[in-house]
Amino acid sequence: MPHSAAVNSERQPYLCDRLQGFGTTIFTEMTRLAIEHQAVNLGQGFPNFDGPGFLKEAAIAAIGRTDGTNQYRRMAGLMELTTAIAEHQQRFWGLSYEPGSEVSVFAGATEAIFATLQALLNPGDEVVVFEPYYDSYRASIAMAGATARFVTLRAPSFTYDPQELEQAITPRTRIILLNTPHNPTGKVFSRSELEHIAGLCRRHNLIAVTDEVYEHLVYDGQHTCLASLPGMRERTVVISSAGKSFSMTGWKVGHTCASEQISAAIRCAHQFITFCVPGPFQLAAAAAYRAPDSYFRDLVQTFKSRRDRLCEGLDKLGLKVLVPAGTYFVLTDIRPLGFTSDVEFCRMLPQKVGVAAIPPSAFYSQSDDGSHLVRWAFCKTEDVIDEALTRLQKLPSLAAK
Ligand code: PMP
Ligand code: GLN
């Protein structure tokens, strides 16, 4: 059975059973189509601009060092970086972690998620995952020999049914995997939802893994770390990465914050996956996490105005916009323009309109649940957003045919 709407999801002759059906990620596929048709790429979530110059200068200066920075580094991450992350965690979320034993560095949040799941799951264990989900979760769970159980966030509000969550927990459940702010819906989990989830973790003795890569991209409401709720710090693995907060998605410097014992388990997996992350980018990320509060305020302001610009434009085209509270993605319902399949829509779009987007059915276990939605990225400069909106004016005429 295919795992997702990924394009090459037919059986591959050499691929192991665990990975059959995963195909090529939807991000790769849509970026390929964007390049082929010279489309404006509002698909894969990467900014069309780089993060602040002082970070590049920090990376360049670090490459120039002759003190071993360019050689293998401490397996769990440079102390300069783990210390900066611990300070950041305290400054923004009031959580205190010991940099030597409780903060670890990975090749992006992707590796942090992978290492965490490989370290904590036995074959046959179950992980409760909210869908739509970030695509790597499901593959990482499969590679650990575990099983995902899905709880659906339903449009338009993307709340979940508390009973559905409670029923998804079985004696085999080991982890609840949560992403807030949430990709692709832009949902920011509310405090009362987090309290409910925390209560279930405590009652069933579960570990929470929280993917918080969009922690600084919240426009309405505020981000709450599940780990900050009573009794949760000791049973939560907080995951984030410098990619989104500092607009350097290619740097791939991610981290976990967790208790010493959980961190020790995750490090055991990490030492055999990548062992360590490039030293110069770790030093640059350390400078990033020490950026002044004004940097983070400006980031939110800039992205909020881009969100509003794209949302207004998509709304004027006649799409139903589900305004995101956070992240840098917006979902629209495509049915008002007469489209019914997100996959067909997104495959047609680069060639016929010159814009690329992402079909969210790739992020649902039952792909029909997402087939009326399309995800657009607004981590782009205003000129790019405007060019995409100009090209998209063709949409209503295409729908009529
Ligand atoms: N989690 C979520 C929810 C994401 O959207 C992404 C992709 N940006 C990642 C994890 C991966 O982050 P990284 O690039 O740091 O591996
Ligand atoms: N997180 C990015 C997105 O959701 C994609 C990252 C990737 O391509 N692996 O668009």
Instruction: Measure 44 CA to ligand 2 centroid, in angstroms.
Output: 5
Where does a domain end: 292, 319, 350? 292
Q: What is the pLDDT of residues 83-100, one digit of tens each?
A: 999 999 999 999 999 999
> Which of 238, 257, 292 is a domain's end point?
292
From residue 285, how far is each of 123, 260, 271 by CA, in Å?
35, 22, 20
The ligand placed nearest to the CA atom of residue 214 is: 1
CB-ligand 2 contact for 41 (6 Å cutoff) = no
Please tell me the total count of domains within the chain: 2
Residue 218 lies in a domain: yes
Co-location of 244 and 334 in the same domain: no
- Domain range for 118 is 53-292
The reply to whether 236 and 302 lie within a common domain is: no
Measured at the CA of 275, the angle between CA 272 and CA 279, to 5 degrees, comes to 170
Q: How far is CA 76 from the centre of its chain?
A: 22
340-362, pLDDT tens digit by residue?
999 999 999 999 999 999 999 98
1 located within any domain: no
User: 89: Cβ below 6 Å to ligand 2?
Assistant: no
Q: Quickly tell me which residue has 């082929």 as its tokens.
A: 36
CA distance linking residue 278 with residue 362, whole number of Å:
32
Which residue's CA is minimally distant from atom 14 of ligand 1? 108
pLDDT of residue 194: 98
- Statement to judge: residues 119 and 40 lie in one domain: no
Domain end, chosen from 247, 266, 292, is at: 292
Residues 57 and 71 in one domain: yes
Residue 90 is given by DSSP the state: H
Tell me what pLDDT residue 7 has.
45
Q: Are residues 110 and 247 in the same domain?
A: yes
Intra-chain end-to-end CA distance of the chain, in Å: 33
Q: Are residues 238 and 199 in the same domain?
A: yes
pLDDT at 5: 45
Q: Is the dihedral of CA 181, 182, 188, 194 positive or negative?
A: negative
* Residue 127 domain flag: yes
Give domain status of residue 172, yes or no: yes
Q: How is residue 187 annotated by DSSP?
A: -
Residue 205 backbone phi and psi in degrees, to 5: 55, 55
Taking 70 as the pLDDT cut, the residues of the chain under it are 1-9, 367, 400-401
Structural domain includes residue 300:
yes
Tell whether ligand 1 has an atom less than 6 A from the beta carbon of residue 367: no
With respect to residue 8, please indicate whether it lies within any of the assigned structural domains: no
In a domain, 5, yes or no: no
pLDDT at 399: 77
pLDDT for the residue 9: 66
Distances (CA, A) of 389 to 47, 318, 323, 341: 17, 12, 17, 21
Residue 95 contacts by C-beta under 8 Å, 6 or more apart in sequence? Answer: 89, 225, 227, 228, 233, 238, 257
State pTM to two decimals: 0.96
Residue 184 in any domain: the answer is yes
Cβ-proximal residues to 263 (8 Å cutoff; 6+ apart), any chain: 76, 101, 102, 103, 104, 256
Distance 185 CA to ligand 1 centre (A): 14
| CATH code, domain with 338 | 3.90.1150.10
Kindly state if the Cβ of 44 falls inside 6 Å of ligand 2: yes
Distance 25 CA to ligand 1 centre (A): 13
The set of residues, in sequence order, having a beta carbon less than 8 Å from that of 9 and lying 6+ positions away, is: 2, 3, 21, 22, 23
DSSP code, position 23: -
Binding site membership of 77 for ligand 1 (Cβ less than 6 Å) = no
CATH number at residue 221: 3.40.640.10
Smallest-distance ligand from the CA of 137: 1
